[in-house]
Amino acid sequence: MSVEKRVRRPVDLTKARRAKIQRQLSSIDERLRFRPNSIKAVELTLISSLPHGSTNTTPVDKTVKLMNSKYSWIFAAALTVALCGCASPQRNAAESGETKVSLAQTPTAVRQVIERELVGAQLEDIARKERAGRTVYETDLIRDGHKWEVVVAEDGQIISKLREGSAEERKADRREEATTAGWRETFNVSKADLAPTGSNAYLAIQPGRVLRLAHGTDRLTVSILSETSTVDGITTGVLEEREEKDGQLIEVSRNFFATDQKTGDVYYFGEDVDNYKDGKIINHDSAWLSGRNGARFGLMIPGKPKVGDKFYQEIAPSVALDRVEVVSVDATVKTPAGTFRHCVHLRETTPLDPDVSHKYYAPGIGMIKDDEFELVENP
């Protein structure tokens, strides 16, 4: 089900890191703006530290010279002293969507947790913000020379505890970036409502249904099998995709779906993949299962798609991270099997690869177009 299954590249997390660094620099700028004496101290230190014969240059010129000379360590030391002098409990300006609070302004359950975390540590600041529909308190503290971020829910539950610069923090940055960009990756669903079969108008998981698509001599056959599979504690239905190129089988995937009986939403719990060459299985690239190796189920398609909806279909770090945006719910699509109206158009991308895929689903039929593949006969 991936945009590009056979070539996966590492996730580029630099964007999230750059955003965090920019926020930190903005914080420094805000602190210095209210501490002119500190800036003056830096300037005087820079001037006095330059070698003789540099008196005809401006302080800015001297600063540039220091930063690009063997005296750069003096500049760093002076700036560090100035910044240290700027420290105060309210030193950081609040980011958009958050409110800076004191420890005394937090709920009792939150305060008790933070006080425990502060044993042997120094508090930097606390920010109250909304995350995934609930209020959380992001607490920055310093312990043993390292900066930590502890996120606490209103009931006192610790949601995360991450050391700055750690691999775990980079993953959290990616998740936050996705949320900020509007891509949903968490879904509030009762697993008791999920079933291996369902009647979603665009992806009905009903055993025996078969769709045949083609592009020239290439074939894509999509079948709902009669079997089920248990993934992440959920009984799922199995959708098989068989892809042939020039008459040769190149891939068979077994995709695991469960349908919410109340909403009609279809959730994606992973896939088993067999990739073929010359009639033999060569690897299982792109296979993933919810509940294993950090993977979680995604939303394949809602029961009632809306234009602008953006969500992850696959959430398997470094393996499969397909996400889609609903472009239209009223598209007209012509295929060899006929013309279909009121179709849902999904634009599919992934942070693992620059490729873009377009899929179209017709009500009462299912997927009628997958990039160059088009439905060739009515089911």
Contact 207, 239 (CB under 8 A): no
Q: How confident is the model at residue 159 (pLDDT cuts 50, 70, 90)?
A: confident
Residue 341 pLDDT greater than 50, yes or no: yes
Which one-letter DSSP state was computed for residue 184?
B
Same-domain check for residues 224 and 281: yes
Same-domain check for residues 130 and 233: no
Torsion, Cα 113 115 118 122, to 10 degrees, reads 130
The per-residue pLDDT for 57 is 46
Residue 238 lies in a domain: yes
Choose the final residue of a domain: 181, 201, 216: 181
Query: Taking residues 351-379, what's their average pLDDT?
Result: 95
Same-domain check for residues 199 and 340: yes
Segment 193-203, tens digit of pLDDT:
999 999 999 99
Residue 55 lies in a domain: no
Same-domain check for residues 346 and 254: yes
**Least-confidence region, from 17-26, 157-166, 359-368:** 17-26
Query: Taking residues 244-249, what's their average pLDDT?
Result: 95
Residue 47 lies in a domain: no
Choose the final residue of a domain: 152, 181, 210: 181
The per-residue pLDDT for 134 is 73
Q: Which SS3 state, helix, strand or coil, does residue 314 take?
A: strand
Segment 66-109, tens digit of pLDDT:
444 444 444 444 444 444 444 443 445 566 568 999 999 999 99
Same-domain check for residues 118 and 152: yes
Range of the domain at 164: 94-181
Same-domain check for residues 240 and 335: yes
Report the range out of 45-59, 115-129, 251-265 with the highest average pLDDT: 251-265
Same-domain check for residues 293 and 369: yes
Averaged pLDDT of the chain: 80
Bridge pairing between strands 366-370 and 338-350? unpaired
Residue 167 pLDDT greater than 80, yes or no: no
CA distances from 231 to 267, 273, 296, 297, 366 (A): 12, 15, 11, 10, 24
The per-residue pLDDT for 78 is 47
Choose the final residue of a domain: 181, 209, 230: 181
Segment 219-240, tens digit of pLDDT:
999 999 999 999 999 999 999 9
Residue 298 pLDDT greater than 80, yes or no: yes
Same-domain check for residues 138 and 215: no
The per-residue pLDDT for 123 is 94
Same-domain check for residues 102 and 236: no
Residue 243 lies in a domain: yes
Segment 1-53, tens digit of pLDDT:
655 443 333 334 445 455 555 555 544 444 444 344 444 444 444 444 444 44
> The domain that contains 131 carries what CATH number?
3.10.450.360
The per-residue pLDDT for 133 is 56
* Phi, psi (degrees; rounded to nearest 5) at 309: -60, 135
SS (H, E, C) 67-94: HCCCCHHHHHHHHHHHHHHCCCCCCCCC
Q: How confident is the model at residue 172 (pLDDT cuts 50, 70, 90)?
A: low
Q: Total structural domains in the chain? A: 2
Residue 356 pLDDT greater than 90, yes or no: yes
Give pTM, 2 decimals: 0.58
Same-domain check for residues 161 and 265: no
The token duo for 17 is 């890191």
Residue 142 lies in a domain: yes
The per-residue pLDDT for 177 is 55
Percent of the chain at pLDDT above 70? 70
Same-domain check for residues 121 and 205: no
Residue 10 lies in a domain: no
Longest dimension (CA), the chain: 88
Query: Taking residues 114-129, what's their average pLDDT?
Result: 92
Q: How confident is the model at residue 286 (pLDDT cuts 50, 70, 90)?
A: very high
Same-domain check for residues 357 and 218: yes
Query: From CA 19, how far away is CA 14, in angstroms rounded?
Result: 8
